[in-house]
Structure 1
Amino acid sequence: MKLSQSAALAFAASALAAPSLTTQEKPRAAAAACASAVTLDGSSNVFKKYKLHPNSFFRKEVEDAVAQMSDSSLAASAKKVADVGTFLWLDTIENISRLEPALQDVPCENILGVVIYDLPGRDCAAKASNGELKVGELAKYKSEYIDKIVPIIKAHSNTAFVLLIEPDSLPNLVTNSDLQTCQNSASGYRDGVAYALKQLNLPNVVMYLDAGHGGWLGWDANLKPGAEELAKAYKAAGSPKQFRGIATNVAGWNQWDLSPGEFSKTSDAKYNSCQNEKTYITTFGAALKTAGMPNHAIIDTGRNGVSGLRKEWGNWCNVKGAGFGIRPTSETGTELADAFVWVKPGGESDGTSDTSAVRYDSFCGKPDAYNPSPEAGQWNQAYFEDLIKNAKPKF
């Protein structure tokens, strides 16, 4: 599928970490938490003060992966991946249980990244990461998901949190409104996101709302409606003061400042001026400002170390030849970009390549998608090893 300016071709761009089995992990020795309650300033870049925490869940996945490696040099590089700050995904009600263990080793100078990801009818334009809650189960989303996370964060007022709110949700409503599944999910997405933003507006939290990427809402025809869709949710939540802006390229492959862009020579490139994420956050950021919403951004660089791998911009699933990208840092060179972060845990699959699986999505069978791959959220050892080998910069 070649992208065009039409909303119908603007696709749900990434199958994100779907529910995976919760495993028991032993937290590392308790770090020195802050001596008093943390108060974050939503109007400033918290990443200038705090380091993204290497959460214990991903650390355990990496340590288990290292144990399977016979190549000592590769294993040495893999061990370093465990020390990279990465977001923790709370992608089911059950997986809220990951949060308490992950809080046991967060030092005062670190901030714990958490992905809020369990809307009713989740991922309405793809099959690989459909969620546990059905359309119409908004009350359950509020009472059994958001309302269970809030008291945990309140109980850990001496820890700083950065929350990424509901990847893929509102962008799908902008570009896939022709799909019945997205039409059915629309009210639940809008109300759910607004509820999450309002309830999670806590002093020790800063929040970013997912905004797709330059190959999604970056099309000229999508900029204004995209900004207005996100701004409506922000305003419906009461314009929470702990809200900072947007997250882009989540689980994505786009380059930060590649020029000309990876798909700048395609026949429809004239309809998209956002050929890299740097241009996107600037262009979309201006539209957000006009729409009345904070517009600073964090950008997922977890797997975008290598460019030129995809046949088409819309190919999102387990791209072959990918490598880990820039490590988390607040040194972005652009005022609107608060930080480069690792949101998608590198090594966890985007979706299965098994064509007989219920959750099989055709994008995971594309020629540029890694095969074999397990269900979304499950570990793919061979793919993880390739991410290390192809990392840029190297480990």
Structure 2
Amino acid sequence: MHTLNMQALVALSPLLFSAATALPQASVTPSPSSSVPASSGPAPTATAGGNPFEGYDLYVNPYYKSEVESLAIPSMTGSLAEKASAAANVPSFHWLDTTDKVPQMGEFLEDIKTKNAAGANPPTAGIFVVYDLPDRDCAALASNGEFLISDGGVEKYKAYIDSIREQVEKYSDTQIILVIEPDSLANLVTNLNVQKCANAQDAYLECTNYALTQLNLPNVAMYLDAGHAGWLGWPANIGPAAELYASVYKNASSPAAVRGLATNVANYNAFSIDSCPSYTQGSTVCDEKTYINNFAPQLKSAGFDAHFIVDTGRNGNQPTGQSQWGDWCNVKNTGFGVRPTTDTGDELVDAFVWVKPGGESDGTSDTSAERYDAHCGYADALTPAPEAGTWFQAYFEQLVENANPSL
């Protein structure tokens, strides 16, 4: 195997984590606490209508593991270093945030295939985020992507999806779970007053439709990103959101591989909380469980019988240090949350997962930087912070120290 180039830590979004150019030498065996319940080696059946996480271990991201071991742990000691090592072995999604990352998907799938062929029991599933829309993340400043609508971005995106499909078809015996385009559809619900979002609406819908139809394969389960309770959970937003997501689903001919929606991606909300924090602004929908249970019936009525996954990667410490619910950048007083599991206590929720593993910056606090977003300089953001996607040691240590349950 190739060694990891730890200098290549450039990323384009506060949501994403960077990826290496090759598989590192470190082993990628999941820790027992991170695995989903075992079974006797099912064949991939993502489109069969059941929970696609059942009976699988999730793949431990080799890049994140190497990042923690090479960048974080050397400057840590004692129990903190031990806890960091545990975090390195928690399965986390790999973000396909540029076309250059797609071949790495193949490397990871080859590694999974080798493990499964060697008798991994339960077998391992690959977990990835599709994230490369043209004019990506239209309402933010820190996460512009590589494609522009004005420069053939729609066709370039379709080629990107085609390349992902090639990898999926090549490893048709491997279970693959995908989160589709964080923030994109949610922006079409609430941010069409932003000119860039209004201009991108048709392209977002066309590209999302293409992704859902082309990746509708037997070994795939897809979850469309659906913001979080503080975004789409408000009464004025949840109805229009249900109509939009259902229309996207039905316009793609209700693909069997589309299992449902992903919430709280790269965010901080509790799954369930007894008392709503002050920064939730009086909302009665202040956690993801309430949001999901309000959202699901409206989606079903509109023609989309959705199940959900929830990102618990950074929601372990409640309340967070947020001053406003919409503050998203390197928020203070956060901690790693529940490790990936199908034991969610809610029949609508297939799994808790770490879509964004913690420790990579959401965005720079350098006001002179081209991609500076004011949120990253707020009083509730940990500073000084590096560019989005690069390693942020102080933030990682905060997540480790505040982890709940403890690592």
User: Which deviations, in whole Å up to 9, do the C-alpha atoms of 1:326-365 show, x marking residues without a partner?
Assistant: 0010001000011100001211111111111111110111
Code of the residue aligned with 1:142 in structure 2: it is: K
- Scaled by the length of structure 2, the TM-score of the pair is 0.87
Q: Give unmatched runs, 5+ long, in structure 2.
A: 1-12, 30-39, 117-122
Letter in 2 for 1:281: I
Matches within 5 A, 1:70-219: 70-106=76-112, 107-108=115-116, 109-136=123-150, 137-143=153-159, 145-219=160-234
The higher relative CO (CA closer than 8 Å, separation ≥ 6) is in: 1
Q: Residue 47 of structure 1 contacts residue 339 of structure 1 at CA under 8 Å; is this kept in 2? A: yes
Residue 27 of structure 1 deviates from its aligned partner by 5.3
| CA deviations over 1:66-104 (Å, ceiling 9, x no partner) | 442241322111111121111000001111132122224
Q: Is the 8 A contact 1:297 1:337 kept in 2?
A: yes
Question: How many angstroms apart in 1 are the aligned matches of 2:158 and 2:382?
Answer: 36
In the other structure, the counterpart of 2:4 is none
SS in 2 for 1:245: strand
Distance 1:305 1:153 in 2: 33
Summarize the Cα distance change of 1:278–1:182 in structure 2 as closer, same or farther, 3 Å threshold.
Answer: same
Q: Is the 8 A contact 2:24 2:63 kept in 1?
A: no
Residues 48/30 of structure 1: CA separation in 2 closer, same or farther (3 Å cut): closer
* Deviation for aligned residue 1:158: 1.8
Query: Are residues 30 and 219 of structure 1, via their aligned partners in 2, closer, same or farther at CA, if it must alter by over 3 Å?
Result: closer
Distance 2:22 2:292 in 1: 38
Structure 1: which 4+ aligned runs deviate by more than 4 Å?
27-31, 34-37
**Offset, 1:163:** 0.3
| Partner SS for 1:115 | strand
Equivalence for 2:235: 220
Q: What corresponds to 1:307 in structure 2?
A: 318
Aligned to 1:241: 256
- 2:383 equivalent in structure 1: 371
**Aligned equivalents of 2:73, 2:403: Cα separation in 1:** 20
Query: 1:121–1:130: 8 Å Cα contact kept in structure 2?
Result: yes
Are residues 92 and 242 of structure 1, via their aligned partners in 2, closer, same or farther at CA, if it must alter by over 3 Å? same
Using the TM superposition, give the Cα deviation of residue 29 of structure 1 relative to its aligned residue in structure 2, in angstroms. 6.2
1:257 is matched with 272
Q: Name the CA distance, whole Å, in 1 between partners of 2:109 and 2:360.
A: 22
> Secondary structure of the equivalent of 2:71?
helix
Q: How many correspondences in the alignment?
A: 374
Structure-1-length-normalised TM-score: 0.90
- SS of corresponding position for 1:323: coil
**Structure 1: which 5+ runs fail to align?**
1-13
Taking every aligned residue pair, what percent have the same amino acid on both sides? Answer: 49
SS in 2 for 1:114: strand
